[in-house]
């Protein structure tokens, strides 16, 4: 929706309100597909699925298959359930970036990349390992760097394996070298 609406908060809020009005006014026994020409412009549709208290809405153009979009919502929700052990609103609020990582593993740049929730979870777990490893490595590097010690190398995770990045520090602590009077 952000690509169609833009980054303007007022515009985004008004579009979200229009979508909510359309969805809430629909009876439960009708199709999950809605013409969205009045909201997003010509040849746009939205598909939605309601799970407990969560609504998942995908907006797409007329070139996409409606049932495939409904299936993508199912894959997205299954993956969220695997990741958060029965996803709820709080998971979505407090793990917003992880939710976007999952969505980016399924759809990126308007292209469907993966439809297996198991494969998506493998990728998300690998990304989580990499970011934790990188975060820890950079924290250690920054801590040691600020103390003025020379670092030989820092390990970071890349894709499925470990690679070593040689990070040479050119930082010299003038207090340790005796060049500055510490009095």
Quickly list H helices, 107-156. Answer: 117-147
Residue 47 CB-density burial (10 A; 0-12 exposed, 13-18 middle, 19+ buried): buried
pTM of the model: 0.67
Report pLDDT digits (tens) over 86-122. Answer: 898 999 889 888 899 899 999 988 888 899 999 999 9
Alpha-carbon 108 to chain mean position: 10
**Residue 132: band (very low, low, confident or very high) from pLDDT cuts 50, 70, 90:** low
Structure token pair of residue 62: 């007329």
| Structural domains of the chain, ranges and CATH numbers in brackets | 2-115 (3.30.450.60), 127-177 (no CATH)
Greater pLDDT, 135 or 94? 94
Could you give the 3-state DSSP secondary structure of residue 90? helix
Report pLDDT digits (tens) over 17-75. Answer: 898 888 888 888 999 999 988 888 899 999 999 888 888 999 999 889 999 999 999 99
Q: What is the pLDDT of residue 79?
A: 94
């Amino acid at each position: 929706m952000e690509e169609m609406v833009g980054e303007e908060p007022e515009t985004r809020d008004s579009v979200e309100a229009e979508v909510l009005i359309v969805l809430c006014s629909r009876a439960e026994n009708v199709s999950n597909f809605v013409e969205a020409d009045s909201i997003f412009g010509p040849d746009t549709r939205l598909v939605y699925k309601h799970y407990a208290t969560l609504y998942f809405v995908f907006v797409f153009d007329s070139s996409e298959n409606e049932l495939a979009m409904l299936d993508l919502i199912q894959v997205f929700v299954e993956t969220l359930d695997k990741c958060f052990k029965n996803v709820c609103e709080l998971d979505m609020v407090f793990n917003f970036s992880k939710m976007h990582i999952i969505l980016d593993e399924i759809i990126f740049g308007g292209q469907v990349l993966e439809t297996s929730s198991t494969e998506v979870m493998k990728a998300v777990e690998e990304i989580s390992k990499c970011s934790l490893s990188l975060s820890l490595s950079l924290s250690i590097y920054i801590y040691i760097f600020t103390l003025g010690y020379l670092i030989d190398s820092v390990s970071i995770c890349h894709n499925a394996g470990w690679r070593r990045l040689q990070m040479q520090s050119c930082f010299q602590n003038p207090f340790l070298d005796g060049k500055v009077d510490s009095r």
